[in-house]
Each structure stands twice: as C-alpha cells, then as structure tokens.
Amino acid sequence: MQMLKLTSKVKVKNDLGLHARPATVIVKLLQMSKSQVTFSYKGASINAKSIMSILMLAVGKNGQIEVEVEGEDAKETMESLKLAFENEFGEKSAEAKT
C-alpha cells in the first residue's frame, strides 16, 4: 500500500472557533483513521488526534488551519475532515432549523 501525504487549508467557520465540541468531533472522526494527522496554526503544529492539543491551538472563527494527512487512508481522512469543517461540525444544521 502506498503512503500518501496530502496538505490542505481549512477555515474554521464556527462562531466560537475550534472549541470543545468541534474538537471532540475531529478526534472521534480520526479514531478510525490509520493516517497521521497534523494541524498547523500560527507556527504551532499538533497531533489532531489529541483533543487537548486541538484546544491548545485556540483557533478562533475564520482561522485558517493547515491540515496534513499522511498514511494509507489519507485521501478518505482528508475528505471527511474537510467535510466536517465545511459543515461546522454539525453546529450549523442546528441553527438552520430555527
């Protein structure tokens, strides 16, 4: 199996930024991934599978994160991460119904 390395920029759209709920969604999403996932923001790089590390990045609304995914399921992992950021980790749908 070929090891793939993908890099992409994602934007945090949530009003509260990357707080506990989105961080939990990210960690749960990555639990099944075989890839190494790194988030980089303002010069800091962290393991995206660690909820504490994500929270310590303190990314606010409209923050740009560089996502690096390396491993055999990198493509699928990157796609699901991008979708999660795009959908504001399920928080947008709750507001849209009101």
91 is catalytic: no
Residue 44: strand pairing partners: 41
Residue 11: strand pairing partners: 64
Residue 69: strand pairing partners: 6, 37
Q: Which two tokens stand for residue 48?
A: 């995206």
Active-site annotation holder among 10, 12, 18, 19: 19
Identify the DSSP state of 30.
H
- Comparing C-alpha atoms, which of 65, 67, 3 is closest to residue 35? 3
Catalytic residues: 19
